Chain A
Amino acid sequence: MNCRTIVDSLMEYLDGSLSADQRKAFETHLKICAPCLRYLESYRRTVEIEEALRRCEEKEGSFPLELFQMILSARRSRS
C-alpha cells in the first residue's frame, strides 16, 4: 500500500469495512508514514467537527408556533 491507496481507503478503514488483511497492511503503512498518520487524524477530526456542529445546532431549534399556524392557514386558503 502507498499513500494514495491509504488515503483512498481511509473511510472504509474508519468505518471498519476493510478486510483483516487490508487492515493490517493499512496499519503497517501508518506506522512508517507520518504524513498519512496526520492525514488520518485530521480526516477523523473533520468528521468529529461535523458531529459537534450537529450537536450544537440541535439545541437551537424548536418548532415555532407561528409556523404551525401559517401552514394551516395557507392550506385552508388553497383548498
Chain B
Amino acid sequence: MGTDSQLEAEERAFLERLRRGDEEACRRLVREQGPRLYRTALRLLADEHEARDAVQDAFLQAFEALDRFEARARLSTWLYRILVNAALARLRRRRHREDSIDDLLPQFGEDGRLLEMPAPWTLQPEALAERSELRRIVRKAIESLPDKHREVLLLRDIEQLSTRETAEILGVTENAVKIRLHRARQALRTLLEPIFGEPKR
C-alpha cells in the first residue's frame, strides 16, 4: 500500500470515528484544525470576538454536516471552506455594501488620458508594524469597499488564495475574480492616497 492510500485509509477511519461522535476524534479535529481556522478568521474579520464566533460556527456546522461530507475533498479543505463562508457571511451582516465602486476608480479624458496626477507615496508600508492606527485605517478602508470587491480582495490578497480557489468559494468565474481584484485594489489605492501620499499643494 502506497503512502497516499495509507493516508487516505487513515483519514477515512478518522472520519468514521468523527461520524460516530467519538469524543477523542472531535478533540483531535479541533486541536489540529482550530489554530489554522482561527488565524484565517482573524485575517478575514480582523476582530477577535467575531473570529471566535466564526470558528465555533464553522466547527458546529461541520460536526452536523459530517454525514454529508464526501471524501473526495480533504477534511481540512472542507473545514476551511466552511469557515471562509461563515466569516464572509459575518462580514456581509456587519456591513452590507452594494454601492458602486466607480467613484473610487481613476477618471480618464475622452482621449484616454489620466485626468489627475497621483501624489507620490512617501509613507512606507513598514510603518504599519509600528503604528497600530495605520493598521486600523487600512482595515477600515478595506471594510468600506462594496461587498463583492472586498471579498475578492480579502481572499486573494489577505488570505492569499489563488484566483481559482477564490472563484470556487465565491461561485463566480476566474475572470470576474481578476476584474474585481483589480478594481478593489484601485479603490483601496484611492482611499489610502490621502494617508500614504504626499499632501497636495
Residue numbers of A with Cβ under 8 A of B are 2-5, 7-8, 10-11, 33-36, 38-39, 41-43, 45-58, 60-64, 67-68, 70-72, 74-76, 78-79
Contacts and interface: CB of A to CB of B under 8 A. Distances in A.
Interface in B47-62: 48, 51-52, 55-56, 59-60
Contacts of A10: 182
Interface stretch (B9-17, B35-43, B94-102, B143-151): B35-43
Contact of B116 (A4, A35, A61): A35
A65 to B, nearest CB: 10
Given A42-B121, A47-B157, A71-B55, A3 B189 contact: no
Contacts of A43: 185-186, 189
Given A35-B114, A35-B117, A60-B42, A46 B60 contact: no
Contacts of B192: 46, 49
A76 to B, nearest CB: 8
A62 B51 CA distance: 12
Interface of B: 21, 23, 26-27, 30-31, 34-35, 38-39, 42-43, 46, 48, 51-52, 55-56, 59-60, 63-64, 106, 108, 111-114, 116-121, 125-126, 128-129, 135, 138-139, 153, 157-158, 160, 178, 181-182, 185-186, 188-189, 192-193, 196-197
A68 to B, nearest CB: 6
B114 A36 contact: yes
B68 to A, nearest CB: 16
A64 B56 contact: no
Contact of B125 (A11, A35, A36, A48): A48
Given A42-B196, A64-B52, 18 more contacts: A2-B113, A3-B114, A7-B106, A11-B185, A38-B119, A39-B118, A43-B186, A46-B185, A50-B188, A52-B126, A52-B129, A55-B129, A57-B42, A58-B43, A67-B38, A71-B59, A75-B59, A79-B63
Contacts of A45: 121, 125, 196
Contacts of A47: 157, 185
Contacts of B189: 42-43, 46
Contacts of B108: 3-4, 7
A5 B112 contact: yes
A4 B112 CA distance: 5
Contacts of B113: 2-4, 35
B90 to A, nearest CB: 16
A72 to B, nearest CB: 6
Report, nearest first, the 9 A-B pairs whose CB atoms are least far apart: A2-B112, A52-B125, A63-B35, A38-B118, A4-B112, A3-B114, A35-B114, A46-B189, A61-B42
